Amino acid sequence: MHKSNPHIDGYDMQALAKAEPALSHHLIKAPSGRDSINFSDPEAVKLLNKALLLHHYNLEYWDIPKGQLCPPIPGRADYMLGLNDVLNQSKAGNKEQVSILDVGTGANLIYPIIGKALFNWNWVASDINQDSIINAQAIIDNNPSLIGSVSLRHQPNNKHIFKGIIESGDYFDASVCNPPFHRSAAEALAGSAQKNKNLNRNKNKRQSNVKKVDSSSHLNFSGQANELWCEGGEFAFISNMINESRKVASQVGLFSCLVSKKENLKPLAANLKKVTSIPMNIHEMAQGNKISRFITWHF
């Protein structure tokens, strides 16, 4: 993890349970003797993430509807910390107030929450799902720390990313995005079921005193369709983002996006060469044995 990540030393489960008392009902003992949760139980995972946000990110309220994507907080914080490092090396590093655009914020509003708490950034957050916008607005309205610093815009056309969102007169120091990963609903469901199966298998190797969760009916990796998949998957979505970024190049200082599949990096770099001579930068992040990355580009 990033050296400044608030979660680099793990979770203080007792402190988190104090922030969100409902979490205490899901605490178990890991073989190491430390407090933990059953990570294949979606309710436990949601409460853990809620507790992290209440305890570390100045929130008083956070909730998402059943079935909405529940983001892993440490990894999302790593993205924001890495982006801040990049911005500090640019002219934005000298600005008193930084403005960021979040593409596809979802119901969870996770990037504005973390970016506001860690760096006091101002945010515009967009989404194509009206229900997600409604829930994200409820999070804003119930948290004084976000009111006046985060605003929402609905994207009416699922074929567009920046068009219809960035308005005349807008300027953003950077944009962020966690793109849809899968190419179809069937692929998303299969991937979610496999991940949940892996969690249960690994859990059973470590302990035997926790009830099993049926992966066919409980998907920890759930989410709305637009959060998990789009036609062409991650590569098509980011390629579209690259093409549209050229049209708003004067209004965004730095474009950024998570890339889950390493094999997409080279073809994405090739697509970027078609719109700018400035090369794409790759920023790797590590959470345990998992390597993730985000890319940046500008004009």
Least confident residue range of 8-22, 41-55, 75-89, 193-207: 193-207
Is pLDDT above 50 for 217?
A: no
Cβ-contact 192, 214 below 8 angstroms: no
Domain ranges of the chain: 67-184+221-297
pLDDT tens digits, 117-166: 999 999 999 999 999 999 999 999 999 999 999 999 999 999 999 999 99
Architecture category of domain 67-184+221-297 in CATH? 3-Layer(aba) Sandwich (3.40)
Cβ-contact 28, 38 below 8 angstroms: yes
Structure confidence at residue 91 as a pLDDT band (50, 70, 90): confident
Helix (H, G, I), strand (E, B) or coil at 281: strand
Non-local (6+) Cβ contacts of 245 within 8 A are 162, 252, 255, 275, 297, 299
- Nearest alpha carbon to residue 36 among 204, 201, 210: 210
Integer angstrom CA distances of residue 12 from 7, 42, 56, 57, 270: 9, 20, 11, 15, 44
Share of the chain above pLDDT 70, in %: 83
Alpha-carbon gap, residue 159 to 95, rounded angstroms = 33
Cβ-contact 243, 159 below 8 angstroms: no
Alpha-carbon gap, residue 173 to 92, rounded angstroms = 6
Res 224: pLDDT: 54
Q: Distance between terminal CA atoms of the chain?
A: 29
Residue range 222-241: mean pLDDT, rounded = 74
Is pLDDT above 70 for 179?
A: yes
Non-local (6+) Cβ contacts of 265 within 8 A are 259, 282, 293, 295
Q: Cα 234–168–85 angle (5° rounding)?
A: 50
Residue range 245-261: mean pLDDT, rounded = 97
pLDDT tens digits, 15-59: 999 999 999 999 999 998 999 999 999 999 999 999 999 999 999
For the whole model, what pTM was predicted? 0.86
Structure confidence at residue 186 as a pLDDT band (50, 70, 90): low
Question: What ranges make up the beta strands (E) of the chain?
Answer: 28-29, 35-36, 99-103, 122-127, 150-154, 174-177, 255-258, 281-287, 290-297
Is pLDDT above 90 for 73?
A: yes
Q: Per DSSP, what are the bridge partners of residue 257?
A: 295
Is pLDDT above 60 for 296?
A: yes
In the block, residue with structure tokens 């979770």: 11
For the chain, what is the mean pLDDT?
A: 88
Structure confidence at residue 232 as a pLDDT band (50, 70, 90): confident
